[in-house]
Structure 1
């Protein structure tokens, strides 16, 4: 894979407000890492002489941030309230309603900016101020990207963290103030608002609000000064260029959004409510009045003869999804395992809770989050996990089971277009084969074998059964994603000894994979506790989870293949078709008369050869809705 060759570019409490110069120019001073910084808040045009002088000083990189009414950039009524620009010594906090022209002029100047979590601010500025992502993104550094390249772990995982405050404590000033906590208290005390609603109602000139706003660009600039040299020192500057380019493309994709079939979604919400009630009543017949009551469910299942063995940290019997699915004879995709007679209570509880979740997290969320054109703009996170895996949130479309079309049916193509998609074919297994160099697996791929059937045949013989293939598939993915024998047993319903036999058989069939995994763990055990991916990404390993090394490098490499494909598709002039990256699938749309040609070309651009292993895609024209590709009946798709 190749990054594209592109040109991309302890504080003490605040004092003040102190009035300085013209009476309307409020100035707040603060000590940051031993030096004084100033925050200026102009009220009139006359106050902007200092701002013009600030811009004229010629800082090559300025910190940039925005304050908005809420986090849903595309919601009706969304507005930007403040825009902040600063260097390492001072910041100017400008009201967007009064100084819009001055802000836009400053943003259009030929200079660079540094922002923390730039995807959000790029979309804010694009929508509210008219400076397009295409113009501003190539001149923007994101300190979150730089931090992720240096240490992708969250603070609770033992890392530096990825939030601006957390990083500032490490790289700028250990006593950097947590101004957001103080601001949330002002929301509650003075405005009777929550952490979510206070942003829209607080007075735009409230001193705490202005201080909070002004410190962020100063911290972002200082953080940039610390992080960029470190990224270059460890040789990750090319990967940084690539990630910044990818972030801009994903922000443009989020700006485009997807069209919703609102009447269908409204009807679906009602049907999901009826379904939840139906299964709640079914659970009640077994003595469970509340499907969210762990104690009631555990007691009823035990009375039905189920042997519950797993317990929570507090000692209570565990009856979470991982326990209930096997009892209902269902795998994680809600397909029958065919290992036992389904327990009707477990089935009812699962389906009642799923209907409730889908009603809230998807149907209602679709309706709440849509813009005034009935488009949904899900948040696309480019670097959401330690491995850099991409994610979709608001709503969490990645959590939908691949076996169900119900929610996906609500996402439809624009008029005159159809939904198309290209999905990687067993990309994790192919990446694992390439990285490990296992000759038998590579040859099976080159021969066009179905890997799971091939594994079952090698382990169980030519007369292997459907159940054997299911176990072999679970074992293969267990090698990739770190699932052990107990996890595979829950997924397949197989006897534990049978799973262990399959694991041994897998290792004998593909010895190169076992050696590769052991080599990664040995290197981490005796050297730095990390794995380094082919793109140069450093992924730290936890001391007690060195076995995750295989999962990390495979998942991260697979992600980078998809990320490179997104960049290549845009460079080929087909980026306008892309809608969403979900797992290993790219969802797109195209005019009906050229849809087949478009998706075939997208599929071709996704393909490559990695370590001698072909990475192939399965391009397909779905139809009117995303659900068309997941078994949605034609009559439901046309409704």
Structure 2
């Protein structure tokens, strides 16, 4: 038995690494005693992060409590695997930090089904995010195990990642291949593997006490674990990749990036990533660049270039100026390059042996609880895109169905702020009620135009998302004076929004700049951005409606059909012959009453590709 000693918060702890069957028997005996005492902390060491890639392997599984850890070398096979699997199947409860990853690792590589392990798990990362969702750059502790352990358990908690990176270098390995190739018996690998479960075991009761002290309801904690499990289920299933199409797209994007870079070069911009060259060229073309960065430099970001190219954030023409050809060429070259590396190449790098890609779904990615989809970041695709979405397919004999909340941000705002006129409109207007034209007519009369609708839509979203006058002007194509007048008129039409904002800000200041959502989620505010409270309240409530919709859909037997949660929609792969029945059930799962406001959804049935829902022909 190899035993490593370490001190945690002044206590001596032991990390045990069994080498023989007799020592494995000692491990299983310890586990039998430990599971009677309470939850066992659990973690894995793997060759990397792409759980579904062909080269991925599970190296060790570690179990522990507050004073003792056992590192089981799964990679050795035989008795080691049998002993670990026995404990995984029989232990009553587990504590895992970032459980979704380990659930999928153990499901795919250890034969322990997600459905079996998840109900027995408490995730300390979920608990930490409910205490304080902010990342370090936002003034929080973060949700990674190391900073949480250093803050709550032992300020000298070692930086395992940093120390192991140094070891990798000494062994001639890189950060990319180090975890896969470091010798299984390396003392540092085993020490830190064991310490992770000890820290997790110590962290759990501290976070539990913090949640109790802050009044976070146990029901909310359970709810987040349910959503995490459902998202892991979707990630495990994945989507079929149209590999030939993706190769063609990859080549086309490379050509587009080069073509538009060539156009930019004719205007004197040799590199589309050189802000200096772009600034000089645009100024030479007679453009006036007034926006500045915090450091005082001329700002040449996407928003500035889109305005110069006469496009909104969705790349649609605004019709307010002559498009600048250089700005448009730079945007198109950079987008093609980014889409190639972020999407096409990532799809091809991560597709598994069965032809599926498994985008990572982070069920709690922001202060508001908003979900995200990464590797690749599919939630950042423009709503008009069909090209990237065309790469992803429903199963054989299936079609894609997308069920999307209708105007959910404005419905949530009306419900939370109790906006009388908005609520009346939503209640009497039916499923197809257009809140933005309703607002335009409320302010301008029956003669309100489509331009008025767009203007007041921008003002409304400014209320929800906290956009400033200049940002709203850029997004709508209206002048800043027009936006100011629209916002003022909006406030007169719906005075409850300003009153709710003021009330939420007062409540937050009385509780240490924390606003609490309708479901009890704690969301810290930045003191210089207290106005963002409306955005936080609305986005959090909308996210929790989507989370409840996922749970409702599972209860309706739709879990195996679901593929992705994207913004305010659920994407599903369903049998073509039963598509209408599935669409109806998804709409039912996404229909609610929120404080008297009907929350409704509309399902759209596509063809086989996700892109078919956006105009693609397949």
Pick the TM interval, shorter chain.
Answer: over 0.9
Q: 1:270 aligns with which of 251, 276, 280?
A: 251
Please list the CA deviations of residues 587-638 of structure 1 after superposition, one character each: whole Å capped at 9, or x if unmatched. 0011111011111111111111101000000111111111111112x2xx2x
- Any conservation in 1 of the 2:141–2:151 contact (CA below 8 Å)? yes
Is the alpha carbon distance of 1:467 and 1:343 closer, same or farther for their aligned partners in structure 2, counting shifts above 3 Å? farther
Residue number in structure 2 paired with 1:16? none
Please list the CA deviations of residues 141-173 of structure 1 after superposition, one character each: whole Å capped at 9, or x if unmatched. 100111111111112212222111111112111
- Any conservation in 2 of the 1:257–1:579 contact (CA below 8 Å)? yes
Q: 2:361 aligns with which of 364, 367, 380?
A: 380
> Hey, what's the Cα distance between the residues in 2 that align with 1:620 and 1:486?
35
> Hey, what's the Cα distance between the residues in 1 that align with 2:522 and 2:189?
38
Residue number in structure 1 paired with 2:577? 593
Deviation at 1:134, TM superposition (A): 0.3
Please list the CA deviations of residues 521-545 of structure 1 after superposition, one character each: whole Å capped at 9, or x if unmatched. 2222344312111111111111111
Out of 453-462 and 477-486, give the one that drifted further.
Answer: 453-462
> Hey, what's the Cα distance between the residues in 2 that align with 1:177 and 1:412?
44
Q: 2:13 aligns with which of 37, 44, 48?
A: 37
Residue number in structure 1 paired with 2:544? 560
> Hey, what's the Cα distance between the residues in 2 that align with 1:215 and 1:199?
17
Residue number in structure 2 paired with 1:3? none
- For the residue of structure 2 that corresponds to 1:447, the secondary structure is helix
Please list the CA deviations of residues 122-142 of structure 1 after superposition, one character each: whole Å capped at 9, or x if unmatched. 000000000000000000110
Structure 1 residues without counterparts, runs of 5 or longer:
1-24
> Hey, what's the Cα distance between the residues in 2 that align with 1:53 and 1:626?
51
Alignment of 1:214 with 2:214, yes or no, is no
Deviation at 1:493, TM superposition (A): 2.3
Out of 75-84 and 49-58, give the one that drifted further.
Answer: 49-58
> Hey, what's the Cα distance between the residues in 2 that align with 1:32 and 1:392?
36
> Hey, what's the Cα distance between the residues in 2 that align with 1:583 and 1:310?
30
Please list the CA deviations of residues 365-405 of structure 1 after superposition, one character each: whole Å capped at 9, or x if unmatched. 10001111110100001111011000000100000000110
> Hey, what's the Cα distance between the residues in 1 that align with 2:112 and 2:74?
13
- Any conservation in 2 of the 1:412–1:626 contact (CA below 8 Å)? yes
- Any conservation in 2 of the 1:191–1:202 contact (CA below 8 Å)? no
Deviation at 1:462, TM superposition (A): 3.1
- Any conservation in 1 of the 2:465–2:535 contact (CA below 8 Å)? yes
- Any conservation in 2 of the 1:419–1:626 contact (CA below 8 Å)? yes
Please list the CA deviations of residues 153-200 of structure 1 after superposition, one character each: whole Å capped at 9, or x if unmatched. 112212222111111112111111112210111112223312x32111
Residue number in structure 1 paired with 2:393? 412
Q: Map 1:271-350; keep pairs closer than 5 Å.
A: 271-350=252-331
- Aligned positions, number: 609
- Any conservation in 1 of the 2:463–2:535 contact (CA below 8 Å)? yes
Alignment of 1:464 with 2:464, yes or no, is no
> Hey, what's the Cα distance between the residues in 2 that align with 1:81 and 1:530?
42
Residue number in structure 2 paired with 1:182? 163
> Hey, what's the Cα distance between the residues in 2 that align with 1:283 and 1:468?
36
Q: Give the alignment's TM-score, normalised by structure 2.
A: 0.97
Deviation at 1:567, TM superposition (A): 0.7
Is the alpha carbon distance of 1:575 and 1:29 closer, same or farther for their aligned partners in structure 2, counting shifts above 3 Å? same
Residue number in structure 2 paired with 1:608? 592
Residue number in structure 1 paired with 2:205? 225
Please list the CA deviations of residues 77-105 of structure 1 after superposition, one character each: whole Å capped at 9, or x if unmatched. 21100000001011000111231111110
Q: Give the alignment's TM-score, normalised by structure 1.
A: 0.94
Q: 1:202 aligns with which of 177, 182, 202?
A: 182
Deviation at 1:494, TM superposition (A): 1.6
Alignment of 1:70 with 2:48, yes or no, is yes
Alignment of 1:102 with 2:83, yes or no, is yes
Alignment of 1:137 with 2:121, yes or no, is no
> Hey, what's the Cα distance between the residues in 1 that align with 2:538 and 2:298?
35
Please list the CA deviations of residues 24-72 of structure 1 after superposition, one character each: whole Å capped at 9, or x if unmatched. x111001111110000112222322321231132332111000001100
Alignment of 1:124 with 2:100, yes or no, is no
Out of 60-69 and 37-46, give the one that drifted further.
Answer: 37-46
Q: 1:525 aligns with which of 500, 506, 509?
A: 509
> Hey, what's the Cα distance between the residues in 1 that align with 2:334 and 2:174?
31
- Any conservation in 1 of the 2:556–2:585 contact (CA below 8 Å)? no
Please list the CA deviations of residues 210-229 of structure 1 after superposition, one character each: whole Å capped at 9, or x if unmatched. 11111000000000121123
> What value does the CA root-mean-square deviation take over the aligned residues?
1.2
Q: Map 1:235-246; keep pairs closer than 5 Å.
A: 235-246=216-227
Residue number in structure 2 paired with 1:505? 489
Alignment of 1:435 with 2:413, yes or no, is no
Deviation at 1:362, TM superposition (A): 0.4
Alignment of 1:27 with 2:6, yes or no, is no
- For the residue of structure 2 that corresponds to 1:392, the secondary structure is strand
Residue number in structure 1 paired with 2:478? 494
Deviation at 1:253, TM superposition (A): 0.9
Residue number in structure 1 paired with 2:523? 539
- For the residue of structure 1 that corresponds to 2:509, the secondary structure is helix
Out of 39-48 and 538-547, give the one that drifted further.
Answer: 39-48
Q: Map 1:136-155; keep pairs closer than 5 Å.
A: 136-155=117-136
